[in-house]
């Protein structure tokens, strides 16, 4: 009889141990599922806003003017979606910066070349022998060769001031010349709901 009672107690202890292991396994699976679900819910509460910030500006050099250029401009975040969520933007990313010649009128003898520096807030980019007429005729969109760090610097400047002040400083090879240059930032902004 004593053997039977010990045997029954041993079976009960083993059953209890198996139940604890099952409960522990279930609890661990439940916790991982809960943590993963919370991460998914957090992802649902954030979204990426792909937008752009751009500005066009004119350069006009008459026959009497020197060949030098010194034009200043400001690129602002004008997108209504950006303005609506400006205080909810958690991450700022500049993917690339491009420029395009929208309008061009130059001397009939040939092409006009532009050389100088395009200053964009904390970043300076050298432009060398840019054929304004050719870019205009082919409607070429030129991407600036920026490093990852320069893109981060531009994003940080946008985050702090919500705009970028820039300038084009340099010279053209001939005159009279008139052109409109369009500078565009391609942005991805992470918005927290």
**CA-based radius of gyration for the chain:** 31
Residue 34 sits in the same domain as residue 73: no
* Confidence (pLDDT) at 57: 95
Dihedral angle over CA of 39, 45, 48, 52, nearest 10: -150
Residue 100 sits in the same domain as residue 131: yes
* Confidence (pLDDT) at 173: 96
Residue 17 sits in the same domain as residue 96: no
DSSP annotation of 144: P
Residue 53 sits in the same domain as residue 40: no
Residue 8 sits in the same domain as residue 68: no
Residue 58 sits in the same domain as residue 101: yes
Q: Of 185, 158, 168, 182, which is closest to residue 124 (Cα–Cα)? A: 168
Residue 18 sits in the same domain as residue 53: no
Question: What CATH number has the domain bearing residue 86?
Answer: 2.60.120
- Give me the domain span that covers residue 110: 48-192
* Confidence (pLDDT) at 41: 46
Residue 153 sits in the same domain as residue 175: yes
Q: What is the pLDDT along the chain (193 residues), one digit of tens a residue?
A: 555 666 666 667 666 676 777 766 767 776 666 565 555 544 456 888 899 999 999 999 999 999 999 999 999 988 888 888 888 889 999 999 999 999 999 987 788 999 999 999 999 999 999 999 999 999 999 999 999 999 999 999 999 999 999 999 999 999 999 999 999 999 999 998 7
* Confidence (pLDDT) at 42: 47
Structurally, how many domains does the chain consist of?
A: 2
* Confidence (pLDDT) at 77: 86
Q: How far apart are CA 9 and CA 53, in angstroms?
A: 76
- Whole-model pTM: value is 0.74
């Amino acid at each position: 009889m004593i053997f039977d009672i010990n045997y029954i107690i041993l079976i009960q202890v083993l059953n209890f141990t198996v139940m604890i292991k099952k409960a522990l396994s279930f609890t661990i699976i439940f916790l991982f599922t809960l943590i993963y679900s919370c991460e998914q819910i957090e992802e649902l509460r954030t979204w990426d806003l792909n937008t752009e910030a751009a500005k066009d500006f004119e350069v006009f050099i008459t026959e009497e003017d020197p060949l030098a250029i010194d034009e200043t401009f400001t690129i602002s975040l004008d997108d209504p979606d950006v303005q609506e969520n400006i205080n909810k933007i958690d991450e700022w990313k500049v993917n690339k910066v491009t420029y395009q010649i929208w309008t061009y009128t130059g001397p009939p003898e040939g092409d006009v070349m532009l050389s100088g520096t395009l200053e964009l807030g904390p970043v300076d980019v050298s432009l060398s022998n840019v054929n304004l007429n050719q870019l205009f005729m082919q409607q070429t969109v030129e991407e600036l060769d920026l490093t990852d760090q320069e893109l981060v610097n531009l994003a940080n400047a946008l985050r702090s001031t919500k705009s970028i002040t820039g300038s084009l400083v340099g010279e053209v090879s001939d005159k009279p010349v008139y052109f409109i240059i369009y500078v565009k930032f391609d942005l991805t902004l992470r918005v927290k709901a």
